[in-house]
Amino acid sequence: MRFDPRIPPRPFVVGRDNGCTMTDCGSLDLEPDEQVTFVTPGGAEYDLARKEWGFYATPSLNGRLLSFGLRAVLTVNRTTGRYFVLLVERGHETAFFRYLDREECEVVAWMDSSEALERIRTGSRAHRE
36 in a structural domain: no
53 in a structural domain: no
Total count of domains within the chain:
1
pLDDT in tens, the chain (129 residues): 999 999 999 998 987 776 789 899 999 999 999 999 999 999 999 999 999 999 999 999 999 999 999 999 999 999 999 999 999 999 999 999 999 999 999 999 999 999 999 999 888 655 555
Return the C-alpha torsion angle 81, 57, 71, 117, nearest 10: 80
pTM: 0.84
Q: What is the pLDDT of residue 55?
A: 96
46 in a structural domain: no
Q: What is the pLDDT of residue 124?
A: 62
33 in a structural domain: no
Is residue 111 within 8 A of residue 74, CB to CB? The reply is yes
Q: How many residues does the chain have?
A: 129
Count CB neighbours of 45 within 10 A: 15
41 in a structural domain: no
94 in a structural domain: yes
User: Domain range spanning residue 96?
Assistant: 60-123
